[in-house]
């Protein structure tokens, strides 16, 4: 099983422009492949009552596990890649272990069986954070919000979900949603942010920025 998982990861790296690889020593996150990596966060993780940092780190571990790789990067490497402090990564990993959401094995971190079963049995909408988002200096809550907007917008159509709905799904306050939306727009992660008001209603229309990635030669 371990051999098959490693081969699967090597093939994934090769498909993204890396041909001479040693997954045991290569800092893959600083290669072109690292700049094309996406962090997937299933709805079961989004709806947990944990911090935004914990959701992103848990999603990162899930995304690597999903392609057959154990998260064996150092805290320093993870922190630099996710644009968080090393202390935040250390505290977050410790918290996730205490909550039994992840397990530390001899070769690195993996999801616990409890979390695996939950995410594998779900048919709900996940969010995807591309490198350009999770590697940015945005607050983690804003990164999650961008992922929620983009899960339906995809840089093409408007997202009309209410603050109440988003607050329940992401477990962040409605006031934070307003502040994060403004921050995303001001930093050009949104190409549209309009508020429509009527009798007894307010509705926001949001379109995310689309990140066009050139093919690897």
pLDDT at 57: 97
Per-residue burial over 93-118, b if 16 or more Cβ lie within 10 Å, else e, is bebbeeeebbeeeeebbbbeeebeeb
pLDDT at 28: 85
CA angle 93, 110, 7 (to 5 degrees): 135
User: Do the two domains 2-120 and 138-208 of this chain adopt the same fold?
Assistant: yes
CATH class of 138-208: mainly alpha
pLDDT at 26: 67
pLDDT at 7: 56
pLDDT at 180: 97
pLDDT at 95: 97
pLDDT at 197: 72
Distances (CA, A) of 209 to 15, 72, 144, 150, 151: 25, 32, 14, 8, 12
Specify whether the CB–CB gap between 32 and 17 falls below 8 A.
yes
Other beta carbons less than 10 A from residue 62's beta carbon: 24
Residues comprising the chain, all counted: 217
State both tokens at 202: 């307010």
Per-residue pLDDT of the chain (217 residues; tens, 9 = 90+): 344 444 555 555 555 444 443 444 468 888 888 899 999 999 999 989 999 999 999 999 999 988 877 778 899 999 999 999 999 999 999 999 999 999 998 888 999 998 988 887 767 889 999 999 999 999 999 999 999 999 999 999 999 989 999 999 999 999 999 999 999 999 999 999 988 776 666 788 999 999 987 655 4
SS3 state of residue 204: strand
What is the pTM assigned to this prediction? Answer: 0.84
The CATH number for 2-120, chosen from 1.10.10.10, 3.40.50.620, 3.40.50.2300, 3.40.50.300, is: 1.10.10.10
Helices (H), 67-162: 75-82, 86-98, 113-120, 131-134, 140-153
Domain ranges of the chain: 2-120, 138-208
């Amino acid at each position: 099983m371990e051999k098959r998982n490693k081969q699967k990861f090597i093939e994934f790296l090769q498909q993204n422009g890396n041909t001479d690889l040693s997954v045991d020593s290569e800092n893959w996150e600083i290669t072109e492949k690292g700049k094309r990596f996406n962090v997937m966060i299933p709805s079961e993780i989004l709806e947990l009552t944990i911090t935004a940092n914990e959701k992103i780190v848990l999603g990162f571990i899930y995304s690597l596990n999903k392609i057959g790789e154990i998260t064996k990067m150092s805290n320093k490497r993870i922190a630099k890649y996710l644009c968080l402090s090393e202390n935040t990564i250390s505290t977050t990993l410790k918290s996730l272990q205490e909550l039994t959401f992840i397990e530390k094995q001899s070769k690195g971190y993996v999801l616990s069986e409890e979390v695996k079963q939950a995410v594998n049995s779900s048919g709900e909408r996940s969010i995807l954070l591309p490198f350009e988002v999770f590697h940015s200096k945005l607050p983690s809550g804003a990164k999650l919000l961008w992922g929620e907007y983009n899960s339906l917008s995809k840089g093409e159509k408007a997202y009309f979900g209410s603050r109440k709905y988003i607050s329940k799904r992401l477990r962040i306050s409605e006031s934070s949603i307003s502040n994060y939306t403004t921050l995303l727009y001001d930093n050009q992660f949104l190409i549209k942010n309009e508020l429509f008001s009527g009798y007894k209603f307010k509705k926001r229309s949001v379109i995310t920025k689309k990140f066009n990635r050139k093919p690897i030669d």
